Protein backbone atom coordinates (compact mmCIF):
# COMPACT_ATOMS: atom_id res chain seq x y z
CA UNK A 1 0.00 0.00 0.00
CA UNK A 2 2.77 2.35 0.94
CA UNK A 3 4.51 1.46 -2.22
CA UNK A 4 1.53 2.32 -4.37
CA UNK A 5 1.27 5.72 -2.81
CA UNK A 6 4.91 6.28 -3.39
CA UNK A 7 4.68 5.27 -6.98
CA UNK A 8 2.02 7.78 -7.85
CA UNK A 9 3.55 10.60 -5.88
CA UNK A 10 4.13 12.60 -9.03
CA UNK A 11 0.71 12.05 -10.53
CA UNK A 12 -0.76 15.45 -11.36
CA UNK A 13 -3.98 16.47 -9.69
CA UNK A 14 -7.14 15.60 -11.45
CA UNK A 15 -8.98 18.86 -11.40
CA UNK A 16 -10.92 20.53 -14.14
CA UNK A 17 -8.49 23.41 -14.05
CA UNK A 18 -5.25 21.48 -14.36
CA UNK A 19 -6.69 19.17 -16.97
CA UNK A 20 -8.12 22.12 -18.92
CA UNK A 21 -11.61 20.74 -18.67
CA UNK A 22 -13.21 23.79 -17.06
CA UNK A 23 -16.86 23.92 -17.93
CA UNK A 24 -17.32 26.57 -20.53
CA UNK A 25 -19.83 28.22 -22.73
CA UNK A 26 -18.72 27.96 -26.32
CA UNK A 27 -20.75 30.34 -28.40
CA UNK A 28 -20.44 30.29 -32.14
CA UNK A 29 -21.35 32.88 -34.69
CA UNK A 30 -24.16 30.75 -36.00
CA UNK A 31 -26.87 31.98 -38.29
CA UNK A 32 -29.46 31.42 -35.59
CA UNK A 33 -27.84 34.07 -33.45
CA UNK A 34 -26.21 36.45 -35.87
CA UNK A 35 -29.05 37.11 -38.30
CA UNK A 36 -31.81 37.67 -35.74
CA UNK A 37 -29.29 39.60 -33.68
CA UNK A 38 -28.63 41.97 -36.54
CA UNK A 39 -32.34 42.40 -37.16
CA UNK A 40 -33.02 43.11 -33.51
CA UNK A 41 -30.14 45.53 -33.16
CA UNK A 42 -31.15 47.18 -36.40
CA UNK A 43 -34.74 47.65 -35.30
CA UNK A 44 -33.70 48.87 -31.87
CA UNK A 45 -31.32 51.34 -33.44
CA UNK A 46 -33.93 52.62 -35.82
CA UNK A 47 -36.22 53.10 -32.84
CA UNK A 48 -33.61 54.98 -30.86
CA UNK A 49 -32.66 56.93 -33.95
CA UNK A 50 -36.21 58.07 -34.54
CA UNK A 51 -36.56 59.14 -30.92
CA UNK A 52 -33.27 61.01 -31.03
CA UNK A 53 -34.06 62.61 -34.31
CA UNK A 54 -37.43 63.85 -33.16
CA UNK A 55 -35.97 65.08 -29.90
CA UNK A 56 -33.30 66.93 -31.79
CA UNK A 57 -35.79 68.38 -34.25
CA UNK A 58 -37.81 69.85 -31.41
CA UNK A 59 -34.89 71.78 -30.08
CA UNK A 60 -34.58 75.34 -31.23
CA UNK A 61 -31.21 76.89 -31.65
CA UNK A 62 -30.45 80.47 -32.53
CA UNK A 63 -26.86 81.23 -33.37
CA UNK A 64 -25.39 84.63 -34.18
CA UNK A 65 -21.81 85.48 -34.97
CA UNK A 66 -20.82 88.81 -33.52
CA UNK A 67 -17.11 88.89 -34.23
CA UNK A 68 -17.66 91.82 -36.48
CA UNK A 69 -15.80 90.64 -39.53
CA UNK A 70 -18.32 91.96 -42.00
CA UNK A 71 -18.43 95.71 -42.22
CA UNK A 72 -22.23 95.69 -42.10
CA UNK A 73 -22.13 94.16 -38.70
CA UNK A 74 -22.61 96.50 -35.81
CA UNK A 75 -19.73 94.89 -34.01
CA UNK A 76 -17.35 95.74 -36.83
CA UNK A 77 -16.49 98.93 -35.09
CA UNK A 78 -15.36 97.00 -32.06
CA UNK A 79 -13.29 94.46 -33.85
CA UNK A 80 -10.28 96.73 -33.90
CA UNK A 81 -8.31 95.79 -30.81
CA UNK A 82 -7.33 99.39 -30.20
CA UNK A 83 -10.92 100.34 -29.50
CA UNK A 84 -11.59 100.12 -25.81
CA UNK A 85 -14.86 99.75 -23.95
CA UNK A 86 -16.73 99.23 -27.11
CA UNK A 87 -20.34 98.17 -27.04
CA UNK A 88 -22.18 96.82 -29.99
CA UNK A 89 -25.64 95.54 -30.66
CA UNK A 90 -26.97 92.40 -32.22
CA UNK A 91 -30.60 92.44 -33.25
CA UNK A 92 -32.69 89.47 -34.03
CA UNK A 93 -36.34 88.59 -34.11
CA UNK A 94 -38.26 85.53 -33.20
CA UNK A 95 -41.36 84.66 -35.15
CA UNK A 96 -42.45 82.00 -32.69
CA UNK A 97 -42.14 81.44 -29.04
CA UNK A 98 -38.64 80.22 -28.19
CA UNK A 99 -39.59 77.59 -25.70
CA UNK A 100 -37.91 77.75 -22.38
CA UNK A 101 -35.98 77.28 -20.41
CA UNK A 102 -33.68 79.05 -22.82
CA UNK A 103 -29.97 78.81 -22.38
CA UNK A 104 -27.69 81.53 -23.53
CA UNK A 105 -24.18 80.56 -24.59
CA UNK A 106 -21.17 82.30 -25.94
CA UNK A 107 -19.14 80.37 -28.44
CA UNK A 108 -15.57 80.62 -29.65
CA UNK A 109 -14.09 79.09 -32.77
CA UNK A 110 -10.52 78.19 -33.59
CA UNK A 111 -9.76 78.70 -29.95
CA UNK A 112 -7.41 76.06 -28.59
CA UNK A 113 -8.34 75.56 -25.01
CA UNK A 114 -7.34 71.99 -25.77
CA UNK A 115 -3.72 72.98 -26.20
CA UNK A 116 -1.66 71.03 -23.71
CA UNK A 117 0.45 73.93 -22.52
CA UNK A 118 -2.67 76.09 -22.23
CA UNK A 119 -4.55 73.50 -20.22
CA UNK A 120 -1.65 72.80 -17.94
CA UNK A 121 -1.06 76.46 -17.24
CA UNK A 122 -2.85 76.73 -13.93
CA UNK A 123 -2.33 75.92 -10.31
CA UNK A 124 -4.79 73.48 -8.79
CA UNK A 125 -3.62 74.21 -5.27
CA UNK A 126 -3.90 77.92 -5.68
CA UNK A 127 -7.40 77.58 -7.08
CA UNK A 128 -8.44 75.40 -4.18
CA UNK A 129 -7.57 78.28 -1.89
CA UNK A 130 -4.17 77.21 -0.64
CA UNK A 131 -2.47 80.43 0.39
CA UNK A 132 1.04 78.99 0.06
CA UNK A 133 0.51 78.84 -3.64
CA UNK A 134 -0.62 82.45 -3.70
CA UNK A 135 2.97 83.39 -2.98
CA UNK A 136 4.66 80.84 -5.16
CA UNK A 137 2.41 79.75 -7.99
CA UNK A 138 3.09 76.59 -9.88
CA UNK A 139 5.80 76.99 -12.50
CA UNK A 140 3.43 75.56 -15.09
CA UNK A 141 1.71 78.96 -14.96
CA UNK A 142 4.69 80.62 -16.58
CA UNK A 143 4.75 83.19 -18.12
CA UNK A 144 1.75 84.18 -16.01
CA UNK A 145 3.42 83.07 -12.81
CA UNK A 146 4.94 86.36 -11.72
CA UNK A 147 4.57 89.79 -13.18
CA UNK A 148 7.46 92.02 -14.17
CA UNK A 149 7.95 93.08 -10.53
CA UNK A 150 8.08 89.48 -9.45
CA UNK A 151 4.72 89.64 -7.76
CA UNK A 152 2.82 86.39 -7.94
CA UNK A 153 -0.17 86.43 -10.24
CA UNK A 154 -3.36 85.06 -8.73
CA UNK A 155 -5.04 83.22 -10.35
CA UNK A 156 -1.98 82.34 -12.32
CA UNK A 157 -1.61 80.79 -15.74
CA UNK A 158 -2.77 81.29 -19.29
CA UNK A 159 -6.08 79.58 -18.74
CA UNK A 160 -7.21 81.99 -16.06
CA UNK A 161 -5.59 84.97 -17.68
CA UNK A 162 -7.48 84.46 -20.91
CA UNK A 163 -10.87 84.40 -19.25
CA UNK A 164 -13.66 85.45 -21.55
CA UNK A 165 -14.74 88.95 -20.66
CA UNK A 166 -17.42 90.01 -23.08
CA UNK A 167 -20.66 90.71 -21.28
CA UNK A 168 -24.15 90.56 -22.67
CA UNK A 169 -27.49 92.14 -21.99
CA UNK A 170 -30.57 90.98 -23.76
CA UNK A 171 -33.51 93.30 -24.38
CA UNK A 172 -36.83 92.52 -25.84
CA UNK A 173 -38.17 95.34 -27.99
CA UNK A 174 -41.67 95.84 -26.78
CA UNK A 175 -43.39 98.65 -28.57
CA UNK A 176 -40.11 100.44 -29.17
CA UNK A 177 -38.90 100.19 -25.64
CA UNK A 178 -36.18 97.94 -24.46
CA UNK A 179 -37.27 95.43 -21.87
CA UNK A 180 -34.44 93.74 -20.13
CA UNK A 181 -34.59 89.97 -20.25
CA UNK A 182 -33.39 88.74 -16.86
CA UNK A 183 -30.40 86.41 -16.95
CA UNK A 184 -29.84 83.78 -14.35
CA UNK A 185 -26.17 83.20 -13.72
CA UNK A 186 -26.49 80.84 -10.78
CA UNK A 187 -25.60 77.20 -11.04
CA UNK A 188 -24.16 77.31 -14.52
CA UNK A 189 -21.00 75.55 -13.35
CA UNK A 190 -20.64 72.03 -12.03
CA UNK A 191 -21.55 71.46 -8.43
CA UNK A 192 -18.20 69.78 -7.81
CA UNK A 193 -16.28 72.66 -9.32
CA UNK A 194 -18.19 75.16 -7.26
CA UNK A 195 -18.03 73.29 -3.98
CA UNK A 196 -14.91 71.15 -4.02
CA UNK A 197 -12.48 71.88 -6.76
CA UNK A 198 -12.38 75.67 -6.51
CA UNK A 199 -12.44 77.36 -3.19
CA UNK A 200 -11.63 80.80 -1.97
CA UNK A 201 -9.13 81.02 0.82
CA UNK A 202 -10.95 81.26 4.13
CA UNK A 203 -9.91 84.85 4.72
CA UNK A 204 -12.37 87.64 5.22
CA UNK A 205 -12.55 89.89 3.58
CA UNK A 206 -11.47 87.96 0.57
CA UNK A 207 -9.41 90.88 -0.64
CA UNK A 208 -6.86 90.36 2.14
CA UNK A 209 -5.97 86.95 0.86
CA UNK A 210 -4.77 88.57 -2.31
CA UNK A 211 -2.36 90.92 -0.58
CA UNK A 212 0.98 90.92 -2.33
CA UNK A 213 -0.45 89.37 -5.45
CA UNK A 214 -1.42 90.93 -8.70
CA UNK A 215 -4.35 90.21 -10.99
CA UNK A 216 -3.74 88.43 -14.26
CA UNK A 217 -2.55 91.05 -16.77
CA UNK A 218 -5.46 90.49 -19.11
CA UNK A 219 -8.06 91.03 -16.42
CA UNK A 220 -9.62 94.37 -15.83
CA UNK A 221 -10.32 93.66 -12.19
CA UNK A 222 -8.86 91.27 -9.66
CA UNK A 223 -10.45 87.97 -8.81
CA UNK A 224 -11.94 89.19 -5.58
CA UNK A 225 -13.95 91.77 -7.49
CA UNK A 226 -15.48 89.45 -10.07
CA UNK A 227 -18.83 89.75 -8.40
CA UNK A 228 -18.76 92.16 -5.54
CA UNK A 229 -22.49 91.94 -5.07
CA UNK A 230 -22.52 88.28 -4.13
CA UNK A 231 -19.70 86.82 -2.01
CA UNK A 232 -20.72 83.29 -2.97
CA UNK A 233 -20.10 84.16 -6.59
CA UNK A 234 -16.88 86.00 -6.06
CA UNK A 235 -13.23 85.08 -6.34
CA UNK A 236 -12.45 81.58 -7.52
CA UNK A 237 -16.01 80.41 -7.21
CA UNK A 238 -17.39 82.94 -9.62
CA UNK A 239 -19.60 80.98 -11.97
CA UNK A 240 -18.28 82.61 -15.11
CA UNK A 241 -14.76 81.89 -13.97
CA UNK A 242 -15.62 78.27 -13.24
CA UNK A 243 -17.23 77.83 -16.62
CA UNK A 244 -14.18 79.25 -18.31
CA UNK A 245 -11.79 77.16 -16.30
CA UNK A 246 -13.52 73.93 -17.35
CA UNK A 247 -11.61 73.96 -20.56
CA UNK A 248 -13.08 72.75 -23.79
CA UNK A 249 -11.88 69.60 -25.48
CA UNK A 250 -12.28 70.91 -29.00
CA UNK A 251 -11.21 74.13 -30.68
CA UNK A 252 -14.81 75.13 -31.50
CA UNK A 253 -16.80 75.30 -28.34
CA UNK A 254 -19.53 77.11 -26.59
CA UNK A 255 -19.92 77.80 -22.94
CA UNK A 256 -23.00 78.49 -20.92
CA UNK A 257 -23.32 82.16 -20.07
CA UNK A 258 -26.74 82.59 -18.56
CA UNK A 259 -30.07 80.91 -18.29
CA UNK A 260 -33.32 82.65 -19.01
CA UNK A 261 -35.71 81.25 -16.45
CA UNK A 262 -37.25 84.13 -14.67
CA UNK A 263 -40.15 86.43 -14.84
CA UNK A 264 -42.03 86.69 -18.09
CA UNK A 265 -39.46 84.55 -19.78
CA UNK A 266 -39.75 81.47 -17.61
CA UNK A 267 -41.58 79.65 -20.36
CA UNK A 268 -39.33 80.93 -23.09
CA UNK A 269 -38.69 83.91 -25.25
CA UNK A 270 -41.93 85.10 -26.81
CA UNK A 271 -42.02 86.02 -30.47
CA UNK A 272 -40.78 89.47 -31.14
CA UNK A 273 -37.70 91.55 -31.71
CA UNK A 274 -34.71 91.34 -29.47
CA UNK A 275 -31.57 93.29 -29.10
CA UNK A 276 -28.44 91.89 -27.56
CA UNK A 277 -26.10 94.44 -26.13
CA UNK A 278 -22.54 93.25 -26.16
CA UNK A 279 -19.66 94.74 -24.23
CA UNK A 280 -17.04 93.77 -26.77
CA UNK A 281 -13.74 93.18 -24.97
CA UNK A 282 -12.41 89.84 -26.05
CA UNK A 283 -10.09 89.91 -29.06
CA UNK A 284 -10.25 86.88 -31.29
CA UNK A 285 -9.61 88.18 -34.76
CA UNK A 286 -5.86 88.20 -34.23
CA UNK A 287 -5.76 84.42 -34.37
CA UNK A 288 -8.64 83.99 -36.81
CA UNK A 289 -11.13 83.13 -34.12
CA UNK A 290 -14.83 83.79 -34.13
CA UNK A 291 -17.23 84.72 -31.40
CA UNK A 292 -20.87 83.86 -31.38
CA UNK A 293 -23.85 83.77 -29.14
CA UNK A 294 -26.25 80.87 -29.02
CA UNK A 295 -29.75 80.64 -27.67
CA UNK A 296 -30.92 77.11 -27.23
CA UNK A 297 -33.28 74.99 -25.31
CA UNK A 298 -32.68 71.33 -24.43
CA UNK A 299 -34.45 68.05 -24.42
CA UNK A 300 -33.86 64.78 -22.59
CA UNK A 301 -30.93 64.09 -24.83
CA UNK A 302 -29.27 67.43 -24.27
CA UNK A 303 -28.76 70.09 -26.88
CA UNK A 304 -29.50 69.94 -30.54
CA UNK A 305 -27.42 67.34 -32.28
CA UNK A 306 -28.66 65.86 -35.50
CA UNK A 307 -25.76 63.51 -35.86
CA UNK A 308 -26.62 61.02 -33.18
CA UNK A 309 -30.16 60.48 -34.40
CA UNK A 310 -29.09 60.16 -38.01
CA UNK A 311 -26.22 57.88 -37.11
CA UNK A 312 -28.55 55.59 -35.21
CA UNK A 313 -30.95 55.52 -38.13
CA UNK A 314 -28.18 54.78 -40.62
CA UNK A 315 -26.54 52.10 -38.49
CA UNK A 316 -29.90 50.54 -37.74
CA UNK A 317 -30.81 50.40 -41.41
CA UNK A 318 -27.40 49.02 -42.30
CA UNK A 319 -27.89 46.28 -39.73
CA UNK A 320 -31.20 45.31 -41.27
CA UNK A 321 -29.72 45.36 -44.76
CA UNK A 322 -26.74 43.36 -43.57
CA UNK A 323 -28.98 40.79 -42.00
CA UNK A 324 -30.71 40.38 -45.38
CA UNK A 325 -27.37 39.90 -47.10
CA UNK A 326 -26.32 37.40 -44.51
CA UNK A 327 -29.56 35.54 -44.80
CA UNK A 328 -29.10 35.21 -48.55
CA UNK A 329 -25.51 34.09 -48.18
CA UNK A 330 -26.49 31.68 -45.48
CA UNK A 331 -29.25 30.16 -47.56
CA UNK A 332 -26.81 29.63 -50.37
CA UNK A 333 -23.69 28.54 -48.57
CA UNK A 334 -24.70 26.99 -45.29
CA UNK A 335 -22.72 23.94 -44.27
CA UNK A 336 -24.16 20.79 -45.75
CA UNK A 337 -25.17 18.62 -42.85
CA UNK A 338 -22.70 15.88 -43.60
CA UNK A 339 -19.77 17.98 -44.61
CA UNK A 340 -16.55 16.84 -43.12
Q: Tell me which residues in 316-335 interact with another protein (CB under 8 A).
A: 319, 322, 326, 329-330, 333-335
Residues 156, 189, 269, 293: which binds another protein (CB under 8 A)? 189
Tell me how far CA of residue 122 lies from CA of 16, 126, 178, 233, in angstroms.
57, 8, 41, 20
Give the residue among 100, 97, 98, 76 at the shortest CA–CA distance from 86: 76
What distance in Å separates the CA atoms of residue 200 and residue 31, rounded to the nearest whole number? 63
82 is a contact residue toward another protein (CB under 8 A): no
Residues 134, 155, 193, 275: which binds another protein (CB under 8 A)? 193
279 is a contact residue toward another protein (CB under 8 A): no
Residues 89, 246, 290, 292: which binds another protein (CB under 8 A)? 246
Q: Which stretch binds another protein (CB under 8 A): 10-18, 70-78, 87-95, 168-176?
A: 10-18
Within 299-318, which residues bind another protein (CB under 8 A)? 299-305, 307-308, 311-312, 315
105 is a contact residue toward another protein (CB under 8 A): yes
What is the number of other CB atoms lying within 10 angstroms of the CB of residue 308?
A: 16
89 or 304, CB closer to another protein?
304
147-150 long-range contacts, Cβ below 8 Å, gap at least 24?
147/214, 147/217, 149/214
CB of 188 vs another protein, minimal distance in Å:
7
Residues in the chain, total? 340
32 is a contact residue toward another protein (CB under 8 A): no
* Structural contact between residues 68 and 280, judged by C-beta atoms closer than 8 angstroms: yes
205 or 302, CB closer to another protein?
302
146 or 253, CB closer to another protein?
253
150 or 286, CB closer to another protein?
286
Residues 60, 87, 237, 259: which binds another protein (CB under 8 A)? 259
* Structural contact between residues 87 and 281, judged by C-beta atoms closer than 8 angstroms: no
Ordered strands of the 253-260 beta sheet:
61-65, 290-296, 102-109, 253-260
What is the number of other CB atoms lying within 10 angstroms of the CB of residue 9?
A: 6
Amino acid sequence: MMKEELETANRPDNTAFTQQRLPAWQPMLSAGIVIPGFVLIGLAFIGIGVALFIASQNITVLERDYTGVETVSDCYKCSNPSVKNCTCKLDFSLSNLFEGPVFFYYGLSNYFQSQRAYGASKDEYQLSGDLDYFKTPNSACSPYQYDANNNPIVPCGSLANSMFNDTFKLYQMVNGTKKLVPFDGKGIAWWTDYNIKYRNPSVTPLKNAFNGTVKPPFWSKPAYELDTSDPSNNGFVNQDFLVWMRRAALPDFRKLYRRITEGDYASGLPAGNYSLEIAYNYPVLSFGGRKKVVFSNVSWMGGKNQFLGIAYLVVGSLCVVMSMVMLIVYAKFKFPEDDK
